[in-house]
Chains A and B, each alone.
Chain A
Amino acid sequence: MAFTINVNGKTQTVDVPGDMPLLWVLRDKLELKGTKFGCGVASCGACTVHIDGAPARSCVTPISSVGAGVVTTIEAVGDSPTGRAVQAAWVEVDVPQCGYCQAGQVMAATALLSTTPKPTDRQIDDAMAGNACRCATYVRIRKAIKTAAGLPTADTREA
């Protein structure tokens, strides 16, 4: 059936089954390949998008549940100052290895900084623990979030 959704500021209509996850609508119907498939069960965070600014796992979000929610994907996250700062910090800190999870990491980090502009290490852990990085670039993800936030970058969890 037809669903009309708002993705990256554009209204789009797709004709798909109602249980098709937003992830596959984005990837295979709207050809927005930046949002990644990792697990299909909201266990890895690779598919993270924003719906009305909040992080959502698009792999378990049926298209029928999106409604009027404003969907933002990695392709447009740089349109916001926070998203742009996060992207710049990711480049500055040279975070990625394979890079596959990083779209989800950038989306999760942007959502964190949008609500918590100066996060503590604990807040970073809580907000980012749902996003797995198989290359384990976690030292740099933490550093990049702090860089984007304008915070000192040392890991303070031990103290």
Chain B
Amino acid sequence: MPLDTPFGADNGAPATAPVDASRRTFLKIGAAAGGGLMLSLAACATPTDTDGAATLATAPAAPPAPLEEINAFVAISPTGKIRIMAKNPEIGQGVKTMLPMLIAEELDADWSAVDIEQAMADAALYGTAASGGMQFAGGSRATPSTWLPLRRLGAATRQVLLQAAAQTWGVPVGELTTGPSVVIHAASNRRATYGELATAAAALPAPDDEMMKTVALKDEASFRIIGKSVKQWDTPRIVRGEPMFGIDMVVPGMKYAVFEQCGVWGGKVVSANLDEVKAVPGVVDAFIVRQVGDDLAPLIDGTNLGLLDGVAIVADDWWTAKTAREKVLKVVWDEGASRTDSSAGFDAKAAELAKGAPQSVLNEKGDVAAAMKAAAKTVEASYSYPFLPHATLEPQNCTARINADGTAEFWSTTQLPEPGRGLVAKVLGVEQSAIKIHMIRAGGGFGRRLANDYMAQAAAIAKHSGHPVKLLWTREDDMRHDHYRPGGYHNFKAALDKAGAMTAMTNHFVTFKRGTRPANSAQLSPAEFPAGFIPAHSYGMSMIEFGVPTGPLRAPESNGVCFAYQSFLDEVAHAAGKDPLAFRLELLSAQTEGPAAGGFSAQRMYDVVKLVGERSGWANRTSLPKGTGMGVAFYYSHLGYFAHVAKVKVEPSGQWRVQKVWVVGDIGKHVINPTGAANQAEGSVIDGVGEMLQTITIENGRTKQANFFDMPLIRINQAPDVDVHFHITDNAPTGLGEPALPPAPPAVTNAIFAATGKRIRQLPVVTSSLRWT
């Protein structure tokens, strides 16, 4: 293998093998492009080492067969192996397995012959509109974005194989059919495997735009891959401990780096005892890295996180770098303007703002004042939730190498590689075309890796030190230099008429401000339910100045807003003397205007709420013993419709455990990979319950929590059993990384209310407040 290829990665092939650019540019093939290209997988996949350190993964038993590249996504060997590229970053959401299923289905491939390989970050090859757009992991977008494009791509690839067979046999394409990995000419009783046709197919022009648009797709009733559970592609390698994560990357001559940042975001290095650090045995270098960009606000804004001041220590091994930092490094910081930020201060400011009128109106309809005046009953309550970290289990890291030719190469767990490319190009002062990004499996994403701050740091450190480096953060770095889910404050009031119908609702939402606008992931949708389902509503907003980075955490905004709204609606239902589930169904039946924002369908939501009531035995909840209760919540986010019922047991001591959560989701007409889908829903629910125990506290402008002992992750003994059901409807399939999370916390707090009569209006849940006798 070439010296410059890292071992551990399974994705060196597209970058290191010589590739026919016209063929790789899937849709721009001309008559001049001919001749398939032989790629040797052996040149990239064998994880042996040339630098003396190899004790890595098992080598393949035999050299893999050469591949004929039909296009950028599909290559086929004469023996019938089909390599399909997975275009998006894999962060645990299952796309490395699921996206190739879409291609394989329409290619009519024999799935058992498929090999999946992670694509490089390469917008021209894999980020095209024709393949479903940009390569990224976020917003539960992979399914809706690629559902048709990747199927068309598979179908067009099949078409090329048909043409190859037609040419070989001298028969019309229209007379040919396919079975799993075989082309059939029934009239002459001839068959050819895809492997047998690979060389001829690779010599044909790749499909063009027109073919992609017009190619016939399968009758969906005949799917034999889509809708069948396919186990995650990498699981056998995961359970053997094979190197595949960002932290596992090794390049020859690599050094290890740590990076000390100011606890207060945007703080500047005044001085550091670099000479003392450099004197530590095993330390190779220590130096100050400076902020790139003068304006701090964009550099601490979610997905834009940039390079801030810090001190890098580079050593022969990571432990040495980390120990030198802890025991020797002393930095004098100019902490900057946000050093007085605190959670207590935010809470006080929010309470003060809540007393006044909202600074701005988000959405208003109907005569709220008249409805409040005429109400038989009003309900008022304030809800709040804290800042939260992402806490991916794999701490942020990046391996970077500046090559002799001025190009630079990154092995990154980024969820959003193209902005990362722009950022590191700026840090290095080179063109974006000089940057090569390997997208490496991430040990969790949850939105954290939509930002590329660690890439920028690795770039700066590699450039200054002159060595390839692996930058690895400590857990404490990760906890304290996140872009957090922002806290939020909702001050509600609702009016009920004599019949217990909701006639008006107001919310004064207090949030955080960056510049003149709400900070990243700190907004409230003006169309938030039940707007449009009650006669009158008014949502207003006020904002708090702050200097804490915020950004998207799995189901951003929804993950807090749903807790507040679905809890308050529960309160209103109880005040109305109604069954909370029936009350929700009544509201959903009372839409006062046309289709709501975001294409929300009240009917789809109605159906999942009704169904989760049936599946959970909601009607029998009154027979539960004292201290055990059931709660319901629903939410629409990321195009998915989800309703959950939680069953919670609260001991007289206040100790509580969620026993079970029933989930009903409507994500359209096909659940592409049922086992992966159920896994996402189970995990989302338990993740949501876990968030009810978590908080990030700001004191003196910095994060107080350090590690999992003071910012707990939910454990197996706290995790409920989860029953997942997908309600199939005649709608296009949608994504699943996020929408099953938001209803989990309010379903649980509503169940706690049912069990104890105690209403939780503030997260995290304080167990001692739940005691009962």
By a beta-carbon cutoff of 8 Å, the part of chain A in contact with chain B is 16-17, 19-21, 24, 28-41, 43-44, 46, 73-75, 77-78, 86-87, 90-91, 94-103, 106, 124-126, 128-142, 155, 157-158
Contact = CB atoms under 8 A, between A and B. Distances in A.
Given A40-B475, A96-B232, A136-B687, A30 B55 contact: yes
A99 B475 contact: no
Given A40-B474, A41-B475, A138-B719, A98 B236 contact: no
A129 B235 contact: no
Contact of B443 (A87, A100, A157): A100
A24 B320 CA distance: 10
Given A38-B708, A141-B716, 7 more contacts: A17-B323, A32-B55, A34-B242, A36-B393, A94-B679, A100-B394, A128-B716
Contact of A137 (B392, B443, B683): B683
Given A36-B394, A102-B239, A158-B659, A28 B317 contact: yes
A106 B239 contact: yes
Interface string B75-111: 0000000000000000111100000000000000000
A57 to B, nearest CB: 12
A19 B326 CA distance: 14
Interface in B717-746: 717, 719, 721-722
Contacts of B244: 99
A147 to B, nearest CB: 13
B56 A97 contact: no
Contacts of B55: 30-32
Contacts of A135: 92, 444, 683, 687
Interface in B37-85: 53-56
B154 interface: no
A38 B660 CA distance: 28
A157 B317 contact: no
Nearest to A28: B317
Contacts of A19: 323
B481 to A, nearest CB: 16
B717 A125 contact: yes
A100 B236 contact: no
Interface in B659-690: 659-660, 675-676, 679-680, 682-687, 690
B84 to A, nearest CB: 19
A20 B319 contact: yes
Interface stretch (B206-214, B245-253, B261-269): B245-253
A27 B685 CA distance: 33
B690 A136 contact: yes
B305 to A, nearest CB: 20
A5 B679 CA distance: 39
Contacts of B442: 98
A20 to B, nearest CB: 5
From B243, B247, B393, name the one whose CB has the most chain A CB atoms within 10 angstroms: B393
B235 A99 contact: yes
A36 B441 CA distance: 14
Given A24-B319, A94-B679, A97-B680, A139 B719 contact: yes
A100 B241 contact: no
Contacts of B229: 94
20 contacts: A17-B320, A31-B53, A33-B8, A38-B394, A38-B395, A40-B474, A46-B393, A86-B239, A87-B240, A97-B92, A97-B232, A100-B392, A128-B716, A128-B717, A129-B715, A129-B716, A133-B393, A134-B443, A136-B682, A137-B683
A140 B721 CA distance: 10
Contact of B240 (A17, A34, A134): A34
A74 B248 CA distance: 14
Given A41-B709, A75-B240, A136 B56 contact: no
A75 B683 contact: no
B56 A31 contact: yes
List of 3 A-B pairs having minimum Cβ-Cβ separation, nearest first: A34-B241, A98-B92, A100-B443
Contacts of A43: 707-709
Given A40-B474, A157-B721, A98 B319 contact: no
Contacts of A157: 659, 721
Contacts of A86: 239
Contacts of A17: 319-320, 323
Nearest to B443: A100
Contacts of A128: 715-717
B641 interface: no
Given A24-B318, A158-B659, A36 B716 contact: no
Contact of A90 (B53, B235, B392, B687): B235
Interface in B462-511: 472, 474-475
B475 A96 contact: no
A119 B622 CA distance: 34
B94 A134 contact: no
Given A41-B475, A94-B232, A100-B444, A132 B239 contact: no
B719 A99 contact: no
A132 B679 contact: no
Contact of A139 (B92, B94, B256, B682): B682
B707 to A, nearest CB: 5
A21 B319 CA distance: 8
Given A36-B443, A40-B475, A136-B714, A97 B683 contact: yes
B394 A102 contact: no
A99 B719 CA distance: 18
Contact of B317 (A24, A39, A98, A103): A24
A33 B248 CA distance: 6
Contacts of B679: 94, 97, 137, 140
Nearest to B250: A31
Nearest to B229: A94
B89 to A, nearest CB: 11
